[in-house]
Structure 1
Amino acid sequence: MTETSESRRGQGSGTYDVVVLGAGPVGQNITDRARAAGLTVAVVERELVGGECSYWACVPSKALLRPVIAVSDARRVDGARQAVTGAIDTGQVFARRNRYVTDWDDTGQAEGVKSSGADLFRGHGRIDGPRRVTVTRDDGAHLTLTARHAVAVATGSRPTVPDIPGIREARPWTNRQGTDSGVVPARLAILGGGGVGVEMATLWQGLGSRVTLLARRRLIPRMEPFAGELVAGSLSDAGVDVRTGVVPTAVRRPDPGGPVTLTLDDGGELEADEVMLATGRTPNTDDIGLDTVGLTPGAWLDVDTTCLVHGAEGEWLYALGDVNHRALLTHQGKYQGRTAGDAIGARAAGRPLDDAPWGDHATTADQHAVPQVFFTDPEAAAVGLTAQQAADAGHRIKTVDLDFDAAQGANLYADGYQGHARMVVDLDRDVLLGVTFVGPGVSELLHSATVAVAGEVPLKRLRHAIACFPTVSEIWLFLLAAHQRERD
C-alpha cells in the first residue's frame, strides 16, 4: 500500500497509529521500529530530545570519565608512566564533555526524529483516557493526539531524594549537576554506593575534588561482592574516603553559598562544599495521566514480555525503559523499544506474536542476560545472574574464579594488572548463567560474555572460541580450562 506524505505523518487530524511519550533513546527506538512497520508516529518531549542519557547521564559521564581513566591507564605502563608529568586540564575535560552533549542543543536529535517520518511535539504529554494524549505545548497551547493502536510511555526516571531532614534545603547535586558542572568542588560528599555513586566518586576525585562516599551497604550491590570490594579498595587507594554502613541523619546549609554539614548516624559530622545524591531513581509517571486509565500515578509500570502494561484495559498501553523498572539501563531500554515496536507492528497488522522466550516479540534478556558496566578504575562489568541470584532461583551451580594475572595479555596491557573474573555455571545444562569481570579495560570483554549467556552456548562448544594471544580476553581460556579440570 502506498502512503501519501500527509497520511504517513498524520497531519491535520491529530490521529496517529502510535503516540510516544518521551524522545530519549528508548522513545527514539520504538519510533524507528514503528515507522519501519509502516505506522504513523507522534513523539512528545517536554525537555531535550535525546533525554537524560544524552545530556546528563551516560554520554556526559563517560566523556568526563575517559580522561581520568586514560591517565590512570598510562600510569600502569612503564615508559608511559614517566610521561604523565602534569595535572589533568579540567577546562579541556569540561570542553570535551560539552562537545559530546552538543552544548545541550538537541537540534540534531530533533531533526533525526523528524527525518524518520515521525511528528515531534514539544510539551508535556498526559494520557487522557484510553488511546488519547493531551499535550500542553511550550507556548501554552493544548493539543489532543489520538492513537489508533498504541501509546508508549518512555518518560524515564529522575533521582530519588531521600527523606533526610534538611536535604532539599541544602540544594544537593544529582546526576545532572554531577555531569554538567563546570566547577570542581574542593570537597564533595556522595550519598549512595551504586553505579552512579562509584562512577561520580571516580570522576570527581580524578579531577581534584576530595571525595567522601557514604553507602548504606557494600558498593555496587547488584554485582558479585568481590566487584564492590575491589572498586572500594581502588577508590580508597586513589584518596576517596569510602564509608560503608554510614548514612546521614540530617543535612544543613545555613548559607546558600556556604558549606554543607551532614550529621551521620555513627555520631560524627562531615563538612563538604557540595553533597550529591546517588540514592536511586523514581519513575516519571506521577503527572502523565495514569489515573485516567485506572493506574496509580507515580508508580513503576508492570509489563508483560512485549512491554504491554498490566492493568490497562485493552492492548494499547506500553511502558519501556526505566518506567517499567526491569533494568534501568539505556541499552536495555533501547532493546525494549525495538522489541515492543515490532510487537506493536505485528498487532496492528494482525500478525501472530512470537512472544515465547527469546522470541522476536519477547524482552527475555531483561530477565536473564542484562549486561552492565561501571566505568570506575578498575572497571566492573557483569551480565546475567550473580552466584547468589542463581542459587536463589533454584539453579544447581558452580562458580569458577580466577585472577587476571593468569592471562599474559592482561599483564602486557598493564604492568602488574590486577583484576578478577567469575563464571556462574549451570551444572544441569552446562551453560553460563552469569559472568563478572573487574579490571582495567574489561568493559570490552562484556559483549562476548553477553553472547555466551544470552545464546546459552554450551561450555563444551565455548571452549572452541579461541581467544587471541596476547589479549586480556585470554582470561576466557583459563576460566574454561579451570571448569574443565574440576569437571573431569
Structure 2
Amino acid sequence: MANPSESTTFDVVIIGAGPVGENVADRVVQGGLSAAIVERELVGGECSYWACMPTKALLRDAAAVRAARALPAAGQAVTGGLEVAAVLARRDRFASNWSDTGQAEWLDQAGIALVRGHGRITGTRVVTVTGTDGTSRVLQARHAVVIATGSSAQLPPVLCLADVAPWASREAAAARTVPDRLAIIGGGVVGSEMATAFSALGSHVTLISQTRLLPGVEPFASDQVTAALRAAGVSLHLKLDATEARRDTSGTVHLTLSDGRLVAADEVLVATGRTPNTKDLGLDHLGLTPGAWLPVDDALAVVGDDGKPVGDGWLYAAGDVNKRALLTHHGKYQARALGDAIAARAHGQELDLAAWGRHAVTADERATTQVIFTDPEVAAVGLSAEAASAAGFRIRVVDHDLGAVAGAALHADGYRGQARMIVDADRNVLIGFTAVGPDVAELLHAATIAVTAEVSLDRLWHAVPAYPTISEIWLRLLEADGRRTRLT
C-alpha cells in the first residue's frame, strides 16, 4: 500500500488542521475515503494552544480556590494566594508546551496525510501547498476541498493601537508573566474570561467595553458577572470606547477613553471580535472575496452572491470561517456532519439534510451551546428571550433563584445564581435555557438534550432530578411555570 504522505491525489483535501479540520478528515477516512490535511502552524489549531485548553487552565486554579473558600471548613484549609508559576506551568502542559508532535502522530495513526505549509486553491479541486522552505506541492482532490482555517483576533480602530504591540487572545493565553496592570478592550467572552483569570493571578485589570459585559447573553447573567468582577477589584468602563493608545519611554501604555479619561497599563489585551482566516487562500479565483466570511448552504457548501454553490459544489467551509457559530464544539459538530456527508455523496448516497437529519447542522441555529468560564459561570443553550421574540415565537419566560435550591445551598455558602427557561408557548417545548452561578456548566447538557429533542414540558415533569443537587432547579422552573399557566 502506498504511503499516503507521498500521494498527490486524495478524495478530500482539507485546509486547516485545527479540531474542525481534524474531525472532517477523521470522518472522511472512517467513511472509506482518503484525506490530506494542510497546516501552516500547529496541528490542533487555536483551541489546543491559544484558546479553549490553555485559557481554561488559567482559570481553573482560581475557581477551585473560590469553591473551597465558599465552605467554612475547606476555606480554613486554604492559606495564601495562587502560586502563579504553578498555574502557568499547568497551562503549559495543557498546551502541550506548544508542540504538536502528539497531534501529528494521531493523524498518522488515523491514516490522514499531513502536508505542512500554506495552502491555496489554484484550480478546480486543486490545492497548492507552499512550505516554509519555499517548495511547493500540488494536491488534487477527487471529491471535495474543505476550508477549515478558523479565525483570528480583530483589532479595533483605536488610534496608534498597533504601535503599542497589544496582546490578542493568543498572547494572553500564552503569557509568560502576569502584568501588574492589564487593560482589556472588549467585554465579550474573551475579555470577561481573561479579566477573571488575570485579576485572580494578581493583575489590576481595567476593562473597557462599548456595551454591557457579555452582550450576547441574558441581561441577568451579564449583571451577575459584572458585579462579581467589580467585587474582585476589576475596574469597568462600560459603554465607552478606547480612542487612542501610546506607550511612553518607561513602557507604560496610556489609553484615552471616549469620555476623556486616561487608563494606564503595562499591557493591553484586545478582545473585540474575530476575523476569518481567508485572506490568502486563492478565493478570488472563484469569485469570492479574500478575507471575508464564507457563506454556506445547508450542506456547508460555499455559495456565491447568487446563493448557489461555487463551481459544481466541491468547495466546503466548516467552523469559524462560515460564521454560523464561532465555538469549537459547534465547529466539530459541523465537521462530523460534513465529513459523513462528503463520504455519503462519494458513495452515491442521498444526504439527509432535514431538520435534525444525519447530515444537517440544525443545532447551529436552534441549540447553540456555550459556557463562559467567568466567576460566576454562565451556561446557555438555544434562544434568549430577546432572540426568541425577534424570531417570532410566542414565549413564556420562567425564572428561578438558583440559590434557593437545596443542592446549591449545600454546594456553597451564600450561593448566588439564577436560571431561566424560554418556552415556546404554542408547542409547550423548551427553546432556550440560561443559568448563571458557580459550576452551572454541568447543568447545560440536560438543557441541550431538552432543547434538541424538543421535549414537551409535560414530559419534563417526569424527569425527576436527584435530591439534593443543583439540578433540582429543573423541578423549580417547572413548578414556577405550572403556577403561572394555572393562573392564566
TM-score range with shorter-chain normalisation?
over 0.9
Aligned length: 481
Taking the TM superposition and a 5 Å limit, the aligned residue runs for 1:438-449 are: 438-449=436-447
Residue 11 of structure 1 deviates from its aligned partner by 5.8
**Are 1:274 and 2:272 counterparts?**
no
Please state how far the C-alpha of 1:294 moved relative to its aligned partner.
1.4
SS in 1 for 2:164: coil
Q: Structure 2: how far apart are the matches of 1:367 and 1:278?
A: 24
Between the aligned partners of 2:114 and 2:213, the Cα distance in structure 1 is 40
What is the root-mean-square deviation of aligned Cα atoms in Å? 1.0
Partner residue, 1:116: 110
Q: Per the alignment, in what secondary structure is the counterpart of residue 213 of structure 2?
A: coil
Which amino acid in 2 is paired with 1:394? Answer: G
Q: In structure 2, how many angstroms separate the alpha carbons of the residues matched to 1:153 and 1:352? A: 23
Match of 2:245, SS state, is strand
The CA distance in 2 between the partners of 1:23 and 1:92, in whole Å, is 30
Quick one: distance in 2 between partners of 1:34 and 1:424?
37
Shift in Å at residue 36 of structure 1?
Answer: 0.7
Cα deviation, residue 306, structure 1: 1.9
Higher mean displacement: 9-18 or 440-449: 9-18
- Name the residue aligned to 2:49: 55
Structure 1 CA distance for aligned equivalents of residues 215 and 452 of structure 2:
22
- TM-score relative to the length of structure 1: 0.97
Aligned-residue offset at 1:236: 0.3
Secondary structure of the residue aligned to 1:214 is strand
- d(CA) in 1 for partners of 2:29, 2:5: 15
Q: For residue 267 of structure 2, what is the amino acid of its counterpart?
A: E
Q: Give the drift of 1:75.
A: 1.2
Aligned to 1:173: 167
1:159 is matched with 153
State the SS of the aligned residue for 1:372: strand
In the alignment, the residues of structure 2 paired with residue 435 and residue 35 of structure 1 have an alpha-carbon distance, to the nearest angstrom, of: 36
Q: What is the DSSP-based 3-state SS (H/G/I as helix, E as strand, rest coil) of the residue aligned with 1:33?
A: helix
Q: Give how far 1:463 is off.
A: 1.4
| Alignment partner of 1:25 is 2:16 | no
Pick from 368, 371, 396 the counterpart of residue 369 of structure 2. 371
Asked if residue 350 in structure 1 is aligned to residue 344 in structure 2, the reply is no
**AA at the equivalent of 1:280:** G
Cα offsets for 1:209-239 (capped at 9, x unmatched) = 0001111001111111111111000000011
Amino acid across the alignment from 2:293: W
Aligned residue number for residue 135 of structure 2: 141
Which consecutive unaligned segments of at least 5 residues does structure 2 have? 305-309
| Counterpart residue identity of residue 477, structure 1 | L
Asked if 1:184 is matched to 2:178, the reply is: yes
Query: For residue 307 of structure 2, what is the aligned residue in structure 1?
Result: none
Q: Deviations over 1:70-122 (max 9, x none)?
A: 11111111111122220100010011011111111100001111111111011
Please state whether the residue corresponding to 1:326 is helix, strand or coil. Answer: coil
**Over residues 178-222 of structure 1, what are the superposed CA-to-partner deviations in whole Å (9 max), with x where a residue is unaligned?**
111121100000010100000000000000000011110011111
TM alignment of 1:321-336, pairs within 5 A: 321-336=319-334
Asked if residue 305 in structure 1 is aligned to residue 298 in structure 2, the reply is: yes
Counterpart residue number, 1:480: 478
Offset at residue 10 of structure 1 (A): 4.7
**Correspondence for 1:198:** 192
Matched-pair contact (CA < 8 Å) for 2:154–2:275: yes
Which of residues 389, 392, 413 is equivalent to 1:391?
A: 389
Q: For 1:37 and 1:462, how far apart are their aligned partners in 2?
A: 37
**Long gaps (5+) in structure 1:** none
Deviation at 1:12, TM superposition (A): 5.0
**What's the counterpart of residue 292 of structure 1?**
285
- Is the CA contact 1:130–1:293 (under 8 Å) kept in the aligned structure 2? no
**CA distance in structure 2 between the partners assigned to 1:196 and 1:10 by the alignment:** 39
Give the conservation status (yes or no) of the 8 Å contact 2:189–2:372.
Answer: yes
> 1:406, 1:478 within 8 Å by CA — same for their partners in 2?
no
Measure how far apart 1:326 and its partner are: 0.7
Please say if 1:44 is aligned against 2:38: yes
Q: 2:430 aligns with which of 404, 421, 432?
A: 432
In structure 1, the residue matched to 2:253 is 260
Determine the structure 1 residue equivalent to 2:241.
247
Structure 2 partner of 1:35? 29
1:83 maps to what in 2? 77
1:450 — aligned with what?
448
Q: What SS does structure 2 have at the residue aligned with 1:266? A: coil
CA distance in 2: counterparts of 1:297 and 1:475, whole angstroms: 48
Query: How far off its partner does 1:246 sit?
Result: 1.3
Residue type at the aligned position of 2:205:
V
CA contact (8 A) 2:5 2:115 kept: no
| Aligned partner letter, 1:426 | D
SS in 2 for 1:169: helix
Q: Secondary structure of 1:79's match?
A: helix
TM-score between the two structures when normalised by the length of structure 2: 0.97
SS in structure 2 at match of 1:80: helix
**Deviations 1:334-385, CA, capped at 9 Å, x for gaps:** 0000000011011111101100111011100000000001101100010000
Cα deviation, residue 168, structure 1:
0.5
Structure 2 CA distance, aligned partners of 1:174 and 1:350?
Answer: 45
Counterpart-to-counterpart distance in 1, 2:124 and 2:388: 40
Distance in 2 between residues matched to 1:305 and 1:342, nearest whole Å: 14
Identity percentage over the alignment?
A: 56
The amino acid across from 1:104 in the alignment is: W
Cα displacement string for residues 287-344 of structure 1 (whole angstroms, at most 9, x for unaligned residues):
1111111111001001112211112111111101000001110000000000000110
Question: Given the alignment, which residue of 131, 137, 148 partners 2:125?
Answer: 131
Report the secondary structure of 1:276's partner residue.
strand
- Distance in 1, Cα, partners of 2:394 & 2:265: 48
Q: 1:15 to 1:401 in 2, by over 3 A?
A: same
